[in-house]
Amino acid sequence: MSKDRVVLAYSGGLDTSVAIGWIGEQTGSEVIAVAVDVGQGGEDLQVIRQRALGCGAVEAYVADAREEFATEYCMPALKANGMYQKRYPLVSALSRPLISKHLVKAAREFDATTVAHGCTGKGNDQVRFEVSITSIGPDLNCIAPVRDLALTRDVAIEYANKHSLPIETTKHNPFSIDQNVWGRAIETGFLEDIWNAPTKDVYNYTDDPTYPPLPDEVEIEFKQGVPVAIDGRPLSPLQIIQEMNRRAGAQGIGRIDIVEDRLVGIKSREIYEAPGAIALIAAHEELENVTVEREQARFKKTVDQRWAELVYDGQWFSPLKKSLDAFVDDTQYYVNGTIRMTLHGGRAVVTGRKTDSGLYDFNLATYETGDTFDQSHSRGFIEIYGLPAKMSAARDERFGRGL
């Protein structure tokens, strides 16, 4: 009789390497390790694959998903100006549904009944993984070795040393770090005291904006809300994010220090670096200002906020998220053109806008000769527009409630 199989989201680090053998001992199941590259950098996928096998995995599934992540996850986030609590560009939240998709794919390929991840019981990611996994594969079970099988860090280090696993063990890394091409998230350690300022060693994607290099002017071309070229050079979404990470990061753009509301109900201090994401969102928002009709734009801000909350809360595959995607995509039809920005000293400042599908009309907007706006219409417009407030004020006066 064959053993049950568990698919494990595998990073190549200490905890998930130990989890391979730990899951086997605790559940009697064989483990398939799944490593998904979403632009986190570090080791080659084949090195990670061999380490997983060396730690006892019966199979190892690896996927270079950087282009998929940039195109199918980061670009929808850009079109929705996805910023949780108006500041966090959903760095980790965006990668979880993609990783979950590959976990389910591996479970089907290798006849696994359970999917495992390395999250704790007090974070957002446990929810994001498990809701995403069961949304795609509702028949699959989910476990978390740290949360469900008592795999603490001290236990992991002891286990790795005892079994001579091919992985470096250390108790001295003060931070928990998650990163991908869209940005980098840093938490724990001394940052848990919210009075403590971040130190220089917290940052990796961005240089100190206090002493920046010379200003960097960049032109970003968009088609239907998606960037397609930088300084006239056609590039893929991944290439555009990578170049903006490099150029905006050199200017210290995209550093975020926030106490955010976690899905599980606690507040958490997080440090983020997202130079490319922050610069691209700023450019996209400004192009929307020029091309999206006023009432549509006002309502889209509400949709953008709700979209970000859904993604943060692990609802990427939910019916509401799907419906909001349809609205967002419809608003992007005319979001075409080029934005010129100056990157300098921690700021991405728009200095120019150019589009053939915008709603800005120079002849209507100008105060100079050639103005085509008929100002004689304004008096009657104001009378009608202010009529409800005028009538209410008159009633207040009659009943002694006037100002």
Domain containing 185 — which CATH number?
3.90.1260.10
Structure tokens at 54: 């060396």
Pair 23, 71 in one domain: yes
Residue 328's CB: how many other CB atoms inside 10 A? 20
Question: Residue 96 catalytic?
Answer: yes
Question: Residue 233 catalytic?
Answer: no
Q: How far is Cα 384 from Cα 379, in angstroms, rounded to an integer?
A: 9
Residue 152 lies in a domain: yes
Per-residue pLDDT tens digits for 188-233: 889 999 999 999 999 999 999 999 999 999 999 999 999 999 999 9
Pair 224, 143 in one domain: no
First to last CA, the chain: 84
- The reply to whether 176 sits in an annotated binding site is yes
- The reply to whether 291 sits in an annotated binding site is no
Say how many domains are in the chain: 2
DSSP state of 4: P
Q: Last residue of some domain: 142, 172, 202?
A: 172
Least confidently predicted of 174-178, 236-240, 252-256, 336-340:
174-178
- The reply to whether 360 sits in an annotated binding site is no
Q: Which of 5, 15, 207, 313 is catalytic?
A: 15
Helix axes 294-312, 275-291, angle to 10 degrees: 150
Select from 58, 30, 24, 63 the least CA-distant residue to 45.
63
Least confidently predicted of 146-155, 177-186, 389-398:
146-155
DSSP state of 197: P
What is the pLDDT confidence band of residue 185, given thresholds at 50, 70 and 90?
Answer: very high
Confidence (pTM)? 0.94
Helix axes 153-162, 14-27, angle to 10 degrees: 80
- The reply to whether 121 sits in an annotated binding site is no
What is the pLDDT confidence band of residue 170, given thresholds at 50, 70 and 90?
Answer: low
Q: How far is Cα 14 from Cα 106, in angstroms, rounded to an integer?
A: 22
Pair 148, 233 in one domain: no
Pair 166, 187 in one domain: no
Q: Which of 29, 51, 125, 313 is catalytic?
A: 125
Q: Which of 5, 96, 269, 347 is catalytic?
A: 96
Helix axes 294-312, 91-109, angle to 10 degrees: 60
**Would you say 183 and 74 are in contact if contact means Cβ atoms under 8 Å apart?**
no
φ and ψ at 92, to 5 degrees?
-75, -40
Q: How far is Cα 182 from Cα 73, in angstroms, rounded to an integer?
A: 10
Per-residue pLDDT tens digits for 113-164: 999 999 988 889 999 999 999 999 999 999 999 899 888 878 888 998 999 8
Pair 18, 87 in one domain: yes
Q: Average pLDDT of the chain?
A: 95
pLDDT at 171: 63
Q: How far is Cα 290 from Cα 353, in angstroms, rounded to an integer?
A: 8
Q: Last residue of some domain: 124, 152, 172?
A: 172
What is the pLDDT confidence band of residue 246, given thresholds at 50, 70 and 90?
Answer: very high
pLDDT at 172: 62
Pair 123, 188 in one domain: no
Pair 349, 224 in one domain: yes
Helix axes 275-291, 237-250, angle to 10 degrees: 110
Question: Residue 304 catalytic?
Answer: no
Domain enclosing residue 288, as ranges: 177-292+334-354
Residue 384 lies in a domain: no
Select from 280, 261, 297 the least CA-distant residue to 222.
280
Pair 158, 250 in one domain: no
Pair 165, 218 in one domain: no
pLDDT > 70 fraction of the chain, expressed in percent and rounded: 98
Which CATH number do you get for residue 102?
3.40.50.620
Pair 22, 161 in one domain: yes
pLDDT at 129: 97
Residue 76 lies in a domain: yes
What residues does 87 pair with on adjacent strands?
A: none
Q: What is the DSSP string of 5-24?
A: EEEEE--SSHHHHHHHHHHH
Q: What is the DSSP string of 289-318?
A: HHHS-HHHHHHHHHHHHHHHHHHHTT-TTS
Q: What is the pLDDT averaged over residues 50-54?
A: 96
Pair 218, 109 in one domain: no
- The reply to whether 268 sits in an annotated binding site is no
- The reply to whether 88 sits in an annotated binding site is yes
Q: Which of 176, 323, 357, 392 is catalytic?
A: 176
pLDDT at 30 over 70: yes
- The reply to whether 10 sits in an annotated binding site is yes
Q: What is the DSSP string of 381-400?
A: HHHHHTHHHHHHHHHHHHTT
Pair 116, 206 in one domain: no
Select from 22, 7, 34, 24 the least CA-distant residue to 140.
7
pLDDT at 14: 87
Residue 391 lies in a domain: no
Residue 140 lies in a domain: yes
- The reply to whether 11 sits in an annotated binding site is yes
CA distances 211 to 43, 250, 252, 276, 357, Å, are 31, 10, 9, 19, 39
- The reply to whether 118 sits in an annotated binding site is yes
pLDDT at 153: 78
What residues does 8 pair with on adjacent strands?
A: 33, 116
Residue 151 lies in a domain: yes
Question: Residue 176 catalytic?
Answer: yes
Residue 300 lies in a domain: no
Residue 214 lies in a domain: yes
What is the pLDDT confidence band of residue 13, given thresholds at 50, 70 and 90?
Answer: confident
Which ranges of 70-148 would DSSP assign to H, the alpha helix? 75-79, 91-109, 125-136, 145-148
CA distances 178 to 38, 45, 121, 146, 210, Å, are 11, 17, 17, 17, 25
Per-residue pLDDT tens digits for 278-311: 999 999 999 999 999 999 999 999 999 999 999 9
Q: What is the DSSP string of 236-248?
A: -HHHHHHHHHHHH
- The reply to whether 14 sits in an annotated binding site is yes
